[in-house]
C-alpha cells in the first residue's frame, strides 16, 4: 500500500535564476531552505573569483555540500543510504543546471 502525497510546484531562485521544482506539500519549506543554502554556497564560490561558469560553480557547491553531509553522517548507521540519496539529488540538480544552461545558450 502506498499513500498518495499531494504535491505542487515551487519556484526557487539560485544565482538570479528561477527554477520551478515539483515538491510534496509537506516538504516545501525544506526545499526552499535547501535552495537558499545552495544559493548561498554558489554565491560564495562565485564571489571568490576562482571558479567561472554556472556549471562549474554548481559542481563545486555540490561537492562541498556532499562533503559536509558525508562528514556529518559518517558516524551514522544509515550513512550509506544517505550518501545514495545525496548523490541522486546532486545529480538531478546538476542535470537541471546543465539543461538550463543549454536552454539559455540556445536562446
pLDDT of residue 104: 65
For residues 65-84, give the mean pLDDT. Answer: 70
Q: Show the domain range for 20.
A: 7-106
Higher per-residue pLDDT: 46 or 96:
46
Which of the four pLDDT bands, split at 50, 70 and 90, describes residue 90? confident
pLDDT of residue 79: 61
6-62 pLDDT, tens per residue?
Answer: 789 999 999 999 999 988 988 899 999 999 999 999 999 999 999 989 999 999 999
> Would 54 be classed as within a structural domain?
yes
Which of the four pLDDT bands, split at 50, 70 and 90, describes residue 1? very low
> Would 23 be classed as within a structural domain?
yes
DSSP string, 37-93: HHHHHHHHHHHHTS--SHHHHHHHHHHHHHHHHHHHHTTSTTHHHHHHHHHHHHHHH
Which of the four pLDDT bands, split at 50, 70 and 90, describes residue 2? very low
> Would 1 be classed as within a structural domain?
no
Q: CATH number for the domain including 34? A: 3.30.160.880
> Would 2 be classed as within a structural domain?
no
Per the structure, the count of domains in the chain is 1
C-alpha pair distances (Å), 48 with each of 1, 52, 57, 59:
50, 10, 11, 15
Q: Which three cell numbers stand for residue 27?
A: 516538504
Amino acid at each position: 500500500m502506498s499513500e498518495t502525497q499531494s504535491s505542487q510546484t515551487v519556484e526557487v531562485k539560485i544565482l538570479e535564476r528561477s527554477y520551478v521544482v515539483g515538491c510534496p506539500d509537506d516538504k516545501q519549506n525544506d526545499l526552499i531552505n535547501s535552495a537558499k543554502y545552495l544559493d548561498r554556497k554558489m554565491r560564495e564560490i562565485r564571489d571568490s573569483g576562482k571558479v567561472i561558469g554556472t556549471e562549474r560553480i554548481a559542481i563545486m557547491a555540490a561537492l562541498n555540500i556532499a562533503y559536509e553531509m558525508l562528514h556529518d553522517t559518517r558516524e551514522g548507521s544509515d550513512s550509506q543510504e544517505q550518501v545514495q540519496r545525496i548523490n541522486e539529488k546532486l545529480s538531478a540538480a546538476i542535470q537541471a543546471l546543465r539543461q538550463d544552461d543549454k536552454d539559455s545558450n540556445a536562446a
